[in-house]
Amino acid sequence: MNPDYIKWLKQKSMKHRGDWLTWEVVKEYRKRAETCRKASGEITGNMRQLALELMKKYDVSEIEAVNILNGYNVGNYVDKYMAMKNINSIAAD
């Protein structure tokens, strides 16, 4: 694994506040988002609240939260946060 990437992950991991993003979390928030979504696809007040909740509870960025609620790039985000969580065991490999 790229040493610069490992260094970046360690720095991000040390700064992370909140719980870790997992597939279970993503599934829960996607389900909740579906109940909030308008037919037009616009972000409603409830969707905005879900995004803010994701940002606060799981320390994800705003674009990550919106993408998670809409189902975009979810695998990349889960992989990123799991790598941050497990960086010490990854770096040892």
Q: Give CA torsion, residues 80, 81, 85, 88, to 10 deg.
A: 10
pLDDT one-digit tens code per residue, 26-85? 999 999 998 887 655 666 788 899 999 999 999 999 999 999 999 999 999 999 999 999
d(CA 92, CA 29): 33
pLDDT at 40: 58
Q: What is the pTM of this model?
A: 0.84
Q: Does the pLDDT at position 92 exceed 60? A: no
pLDDT at 91: 58
